[in-house]
Amino acid sequence: MRNKQHHGGRGRFENNGGIELEDVEKVFTLRRRTGVLRRSREEVRAVDGISFTVAPGEMVGYIGPNGAGKSTTIKMLTGILAPSGGRLRVAGIDPARERIRLAHHIGVVYGQRTTLWWDLPLRDSYTLVRRLYRVPARRFHRNLDRCVELLDLGALMDTPVRQLSLGQRVRGDIAAALLHDPAILYLDEPTIGLDAVSKVKVRGFLQDINAEHNTTVLLTTHDLTDIEQLCRRVMVIDHGRLVYDGTLDGLHTLGESERTLIVDFERVLPPVTVPGARTVKTDGPRQWLAIPADASAAPVVAAVAAHHPLVDLSIREPDVEDVIAAMYARLPRG
């Protein structure tokens, strides 16, 4: 299905969907007026020496607090920002030097921006995307039909983008990013502000695309549920440095992070005691139970349900910030 193009490049992955970074840096110079004639220069090291490799077909989470350097990394990976130092290869291509050639191999989705045309119906936006990437008619229609079906866009095709809800727009954007069969997909906070239904649809779709086309996915997010359901591997970036690269469970273990089980009982009960959990808060018939994030919630849920009159129950994943803060507490920065 993928349009394999052959070209040179000395990256390890040559022309397939791999990503390589070696000591990549991005320094922004801010010039500020401090007086009538005086200006001060201030350097922001947005990305401060990052190295990693993503193999073709991998789905990797890229997380970190606000301002950590995630979006800057993605901009360098698309070629719209040149690194201040280090070396990048995406599908064997040096992004900043061959931005336009790389564009055919990658798809990009920004949760807070749209690549669609504000005044045009979705359908017309897709026609433009098709012309932009010169997708052959048959392939275009096959890909579009699939996206429309799985992302539930059928009823929206004639709606101008400005009239779509955020969740609908992001789904529309994801479809637009995949019509040309990119080997690599970057998603910069795609689920931010999405309703629960859209989130589930988006995650399911990404899983399918990855399974079917072996698309490499690099995903930044604030929602650890995205990572948990999509990525076996997670990288944590903070102050422009990679501070963790491993499994999500490993991160939880390292951060001693906890998930929260929110339980509604039929009536007000004293704090329940269940093995493997501790009650951290009660409010009327509602209680909050903390369980280690790397342990399964199932036995705890079963134990609570077996001994108490349960009405409702939900699980909250730990916040990225909390996990990272906890990780630091254990692992002094060096």
64 touches ligand ADP by CB under 6 A:
yes
| Contacts to another protein from residues 128-147, by CB under 8 A | 128, 131-134
Maximum distance among all Cα pairs of the chain, rounded to whole angstroms: 74
Distance, C-alpha 33 to centroid of its chain: 36
To the nearest whole angstrom, how small is the minimum distance from the Cβ of residue 124 to another protein? 5
Could you give phi then psi for residue 296, rounded to 5 degrees? -75, 145
Contacts of 229 (CB under 8 A, 6+ apart): 203, 207
331 contact, one of another protein, Mg ion, ligand ADP, none, CB 5-8 Å limit per kind: none
Q: Which residue has the tokens 């400005």?
A: 162
Among 67, 85, 136, 276, binds ligand ADP (CB under 6 A): 67
312 touches another protein by CB under 8 A:
no
100 contact, one of ligand ADP, Mg ion, another protein, none, CB 5-8 Å limit per kind: another protein
Binding mask 53-92 for another protein (x = CB under 8 A): -------------------x--x--xxxxx----------
28 touches ligand ADP by CB under 6 A:
yes
110 touches another protein by CB under 8 A:
yes
| Contacts to another protein from residues 237-256, by CB under 8 A | none
In Å, how far are 28, 281, 290, 313 from 268, measured between CA atoms? 56, 13, 19, 15
To the nearest whole angstrom, how small is the minimum distance from the Cβ of residue 67 to ligand ADP? 4
Candidates 16, 9, 60, 59; CA nearest to 182 is 16
* CB nearer ligand ADP, residue 43 or residue 212: 43
Candidates 42, 213, 49, 48; CA nearest to 143 is 213
* CB nearer another protein, residue 78 or residue 221: 78
Binding mask 61-100 for Mg ion (x = CB under 5 A): ---------xx-----------------------------
Judge contact between 291 and 277, C-beta under 8 A.
yes
Binding mask 41-60 for ligand ADP (x = CB under 6 A): ---x-x--------------
Candidates 1, 14, 4, 18; CA nearest to 184 is 18
In Å, how far are 81, 190, 285, 296, 305 from 263, measured between CA atoms? 47, 29, 8, 16, 10
Specify the DSSP class assigned to residue 30. E
- Residue 200 and residue 207: Cα distance in Å, rounded? 11
Judge contact between 237 and 224, C-beta under 8 A.
no
Among 19, 24, 54, 68, binds ligand ADP (CB under 6 A): 68
Contact residues toward ligand ADP (CB under 6 A) are 28, 30, 44, 46, 64, 66-72
Contact residues toward Mg ion (CB under 5 A) are 70-71
Contact residues toward another protein (CB under 8 A) are 26, 28-29, 72, 75, 78-82, 96, 99-101, 103-104, 108, 110, 113-115, 117, 119-120, 124, 127-128, 131-134, 160
